[in-house]
Amino acid sequence: MLEFIDLGKKISKSDYAAVMDGLEARLGECQRAAQEAGVPVVLVFEGWDAAGKGEAINRLAQVLDPRGFRVNVVLTPNEEERYRPWMWRFWNELPPAGKFALFDHSWYSRVLRERLGDEVSESACREAYEEIRQFERQLADFGAVLVKFWLHIDRKEQKKRFRALEKDPATAWRVGESEWQQNQRYDVWRTAAEEMLEETSAGHSPWVIVEATQRKFVEVKVVETVVVAVEKAILRRASAPKPVYAPMPKPQESPTHEKTVLDRFDLGLTIDREDYERRLGELQERLFRLEHELYVARIPAVIVYEGWDAAGKGGNIKRLTRGLDPRGYEVIPVGPPNEEEKLRPYLWRFWRSLPKAGHIAIFDRSWYGRVLVERVEGYCTEEEWRRAYREITEFERQLADFGTVLVKFWLQIDPEEQLRRFQAREEIPQKKWKITTDDWRNREKWDQYRVSVVDMLQRTSTTHAPWTVLEANDKLYARIKALRTVAEALERAIAGRGTPTA
């Protein structure tokens, strides 16, 4: 592929002067239009060392309003980044709607520099390709403009540039052993780059190969490509039909829909107080030991709590954390997205909250809000909540591939038990803060929520991230089952790493 690129492409000084002023004006207009339309723009610069990535980025930066863009230089992962899934740092750097993000190197370092440096295995490289495709598809689905540049030069040109850089004391530092190794292994790098281009070029995220022999030609092609991509996105946004937000209608009653998977669980299961207190103490001691073994083994854990209003999530979490070292876990309450979160893809805020390896994150509600409350109440479109099933399973697959222990609880109670708890909260002064008008309103939509819960359990309970249903009419029983489930999951993960449990 790359051997047939015409690297002799150039532009004259007069032609450069004739077109560049107009392109710069259009680029400024594009930035303002993207800001007004709420379109995020992500520009990726990859290519050979000394091919001119920095110069191309600098040219864009000279034109763009500095308040509306950020340049991200991707270096070797630091300690904070190594202890989380490798896409974590790129999710963190995504621009809000209306802003530009320019990446000097990017998530593609995984399948180039790290791969050719023998830092990742071939199987990890295969996983990386799939995760990259998923990531870029989610950006496109959110409406982001994604432009990926590969700046191409031949081996001879690269060698000439390295020597020129070495001669200048101000730039000699840019050429070291790794740069010369790339030149010596040029054919190996080219094969890897061609595979990368083939594996990750899609309709929503195509690669643009830039013939990078002449700097002026590079500047014109890069600026023109960005302008055209943003202008097209603005036109698509303007002509797109307005999204439809509508609450979920009450399901039609019929004999075939009377029973669901939720009816399989025996909500009459109970445990007496004495047995509960004994088991609770034993499990909390067990979890305390496991938490420290988890840290030594550098295994992250994510525990998700979902359930009906008043099902006992808060009390369950409190008993789980009571036996843990607070330095090793964090409880993350999830409510409606704030303004900053609405400006980025749906999963952005959850990626940001992932724990470091060896730590535990406990989510009091989670990313499943999109297929539950947002679906039922009409806070997202049908396309968004349907797409969320795929995005969620991809997200959890990436966590599992990183070695994360993922435990998901659904706390199940019946309508009669919920009513009793609602009434008790209204009658007991110290519990009155727990009940709101929203709780009563949600209760009126029990049937809609039941349909959504069943869909969620059936479509997102996977081998690597199964759901555990807690029979929660008896809070004590649900707490013991939850703590036991967490302990067993941590023990399996630790045993799999070869670290014996206490």
Residues 311 and 357 in one domain: yes
Is 244 a domain residue? no
Residues 360 and 428 in one domain: yes
| Dihedral sign for Cα atoms in the order 237, 239, 240, 245 | positive
Average pLDDT value for residue range 314-320: 98
The answer on pLDDT for 431 being more than 90 is no
Residues 337 and 436 in one domain: yes
Residues 266 and 388 in one domain: yes
What CATH code is carried by the domain that includes residue 207? 3.40.50.300
Residues 148 and 297 in one domain: no
Average pLDDT value for residue range 421-450: 87
Residues 286 and 342 in one domain: yes
Of 209, 237, 265, which residue is a domain's last? 237
Is 250 a domain residue? no
Is 447 a domain residue? yes
Residues 263 and 216 in one domain: no
pTM listed for this prediction: 0.94
Is 296 a domain residue? yes
What DSSP string describes 409-463? EEEE--HHHHHHHHHHHHHSGGGGGG--HHHHHHHTTHHHHHHHHHHHHHHH--S
Is 249 a domain residue? no
Residues 50 and 131 in one domain: yes
pLDDT single digits (tens) 160-182? 999 999 999 999 999 999 999 99
Residues 212 and 309 in one domain: no
Is 132 a domain residue? yes
Residues 429 and 366 in one domain: yes
pLDDT single digits (tens) 97-116? 999 999 999 999 999 999 99
Is 364 a domain residue? yes
Quote the number of domains for the chain: 2
Helix axes 122-142, 382-402, angle to 10 degrees: 160
pLDDT single digits (tens) 234-275? 999 999 999 999 999 998 765 555 689 999 999 999 999 999
Is 247 a domain residue? no
Of 206, 237, 268, which residue is a domain's last? 237
DSSP, res 93: T
Give residues with Cβ within 8 angstroms of 240, minimum separation 6.
Answer: none
Residues 36 and 85 in one domain: yes
Of 202, 237, 272, which residue is a domain's last? 237
Range of the domain at 411: 255-496
Nearest alpha-carbon partner for 53 in 156, 146, 153, 129: 153
Distance of CA 468 to the CA centre of its chain: 23
Residues 261 and 121 in one domain: no
Nearest alpha-carbon partner for 116 in 188, 44, 195: 188
pLDDT single digits (tens) 338-383? 999 999 999 999 999 999 999 999 999 999 999 999 999 999 999 9
